[in-house]
Every structure is written in C-alpha cells, then in structure tokens.
Chains A and B, each alone.
Chain A
Amino acid sequence: MNKGFKGGILAIVTMDKDKVTGGGCPVFLAVDQKEQEKLGLFLARILDGIVHDLENGVYFICRH
C-alpha cells in the first residue's frame, strides 16, 4: 500500500544518547532494553514502520 514518505528514518530509540547526533529526526531515550523494545514497537505501529536494530544499542524506525 502507498503510504507516502518512504526510506527515511522516522524515529530513533536509544539508551545511549552519545551514539546519535545531528537533527531532522526525533530521538527517544529509553532507560533499559525493555523500554526500548516497547517504545520501538509503539512507534513502529503508529508510524506504519519497521523497527531495525543497529546492534549498538540504537533502534530506528523506517518505512519501506
């Protein structure tokens, strides 16, 4: 289905705010892995995106 904006990062969920920098995309801070997973899931559902794991403690939501 066509959902408009595709390919870009919609949101970032991280436990370590030093791992992300720059602007243009909202960054959500989580206290632990559990909260990170939950935030990721919620944001993905709301934004119609998919959660990807960069394996350095940073999750991001992207729409394909």
Chain B
Amino acid sequence: MERYLVAIVVGIAAGFLDRLIMLRSDYRFYPTYPHGYLTHLALGFIAAGLGAVAIPAIAKPDYVAVTFLALAAQQFREIRSMERETLSKLEESKLIPRGPDYIEGIARVFEARNYLVILTAMASSAVAYWWRWEYAVIAALLCIVFSTKLMGGSYIGEIAQVEKGEIIFDGSILKVNDVIIMNVGLTETRKKIMREGMGIIIKPRDDNARLTLDAPGQRMAIIHDVVSILGSKVDVSETELRPLARKQADKGYLALFLVANEPDQEYFMEIVKRVPVIESTRGTALKSFFGRKAAD
C-alpha cells in the first residue's frame, strides 16, 4: 500500500476511535438519542479525515490543500452553536432547567472534542507517514489517553466540602441549618417537606470555590444533576417542592434543599460531589494579587 494511504487510513481510524471513546452518555443525559450519536460520530469522522490528510498534504507538498484544511476546520465552530441551540430549545420544556452556563459548558466541550480528534488524527498520521504504522498505533493510544485526561475538569467535591444539613421550619420559613431557603404557606406542604425533604450544606474550601458556588449557573447545574438521578416531586403546576440552592450570605456556604423521588441522603451527597465545575462560573479571585491579599 502507498505510504500516504497508510498514513491517512491510520489517522482516520485513530481520530474516529478517539471520538467514539469521548462520546459518553451518562446521567447528565446527553446525547440520549441515537441520532445525536450519529451526528457527533459523523462530524468526528470528518474531523478525523481532516486531521489525517494534513501531514501527507504538507509532505507532498500541496499547500493549497493545507489552506483548505484550515478553512474546513472553521466549520467545527458551528458545532458549538448547534449544541447550544438544541439544548436551549429543550430547556423551555424542562421542569428543572440546566441553566445557560451548563449548556455553554456542554457546547464548548463538544467543540473542543473535535479539535482533539483532529490533533489525534494528525499526530497518528504523521507517525505513520514518517516511521511505521505500528508506532502510529502507540501514538494514537497516547493521544486518546491524553484527550480523555484533558476533557476531565474539576468537580464540586474537589473545591468544596459536602455535609448533611438539617431541615427546619421557623414559622413559615424553611431553613437548612441556618440558611433561609423559602417561605412555605401551606401546613400540608410543610409536613410533607419535614417528612421527605433532604438538605445538604456545601462549604467552599477557598475564595475561588466560594465565587464558583455563588454563581447561579453553577447552582442550577448542581440541582439539574441531582434531579436527573434522584428525581424530584415537582410537577407542572405544583412547584412548591422545587429544589433550591441558597447561600448563607455572611459565611459564604451554600444550602441545597430537595424533595426527591429517591430520598437517599448518602447518594445525594455523593452526586453533588461529582457535579462538574462549570467553566464559565469558575472563580479566579486567588489568581489576582488583590484577591490573594483580601483572602487572608
């Protein structure tokens, strides 16, 4: 087989495999539809093809082809807006919305994954072109491990301490420990909350974490993830049992309240620990000089 053909085939295979591995459907429930899979696999295949032909094109040398590659890569920016649009549309019919920050984070990740696919395909095809295809397999595996590592962000459990909170009523005011959640009017609802409600306290470990948890987008993401596993007793016109996250303004920690279909406090806390920190809400106070000064 011709050398460039081997390089292209190896590159495409490596890139496509990378996309397949990075395409996960978990409790965050996306993508759940076979068509969603197909769309992303097809785009991943195109991205892999783009990456795979780059090195043989430069080596030939065919600089026009390389310029077109750069143009084609621009198309992947469309993926972000495609994801954003789909998820924002679906948001309108959700009882517990994801929030715009979470959607933006997901959209960005989908775009970035395609660039990683291009890089993987390019690296493997380069190795296959200049050395041997056996080495290209090793290069591809290294790239795939690298991409999965790169895609893993930090989690709430790393930036904050998650503890059990006590649900109490002060007259009509619902509280989790000392954090005021909301005013509940009906006695029946109060009784139900006392029976079935769960509360947790999320204590940030530093100033960056406090700012992250302050962001309403991050709170929505936490609530969405918890509800998508444990469920909630909110219905279309019965919104009294809506899960809420409110902060203790003086001490900076967050209280989360939920009436779940699966009332399991232990898992409730575990799920919250595994909620990703949303990129756009990440606090960076400690990176600035005055932020560090003010923190102590």
Q: Which residues of A contact B (CB under 8 A)?
A: 1-2, 37, 40-41, 44-46, 48-53, 55, 59-60, 64
Distance in angstroms from A27 CB to nearest chain B CB is 15
Q: List 6 A-B contacts (CB under 8 A).
A: A2-B92, A37-B188, A53-B183, A53-B185, A55-B171, A64-B239
A6 to B92, CA, bound (A): 15
Given contacts A1-B93, A45-B237, A49-B239, 10 further A-B contacts (CB under 8 A): A1-B92, A37-B186, A44-B240, A45-B238, A51-B184, A51-B185, A52-B172, A52-B183, A53-B183, A53-B186
Residue in B95, B237, B242 whose Cβ sees the most chain A Cβ within 10 Å? B237
**B234 to nearest A CB, angstroms?**
10
Interface size class on chain B is 10 to 19
Complex CA distance for A45 and B238, rounded to whole angstroms: 6
Task: Decide: A53 near B239, CB < 8 A? Known: A1-B95, A2-B92, A37-B186.
Answer: no
Which residues in A have their C-beta under 8 angstroms from that of B186?
37, 40-41, 44, 51, 53
Least CB distance, A11 to chain B, in whole angstroms: 12
The answer to whether B187 has its CB under 8 Å from any CB of chain A is: yes
CB distance from A50 to the nearest CB of B (A): 5
List chain B residues, Cβ under 8 A from A2: 92
List, in ascending order, chain B residues with CB within 8 A of A53's CB. 171-172, 183-186
Pick the most buried of B172, B185, B186, B187: most chain A CB atoms within 10 A of its CB.
Answer: B185
Of the residues A40, A50, A55, A60, contact of B239 by C-beta under 8 Å: A50
Distance (whole angstroms) from the CB of A36 to the closest CB of chain B = 9
Q: Contact between A40 and B185 (Cβ–Cβ < 8 Å)? A: yes
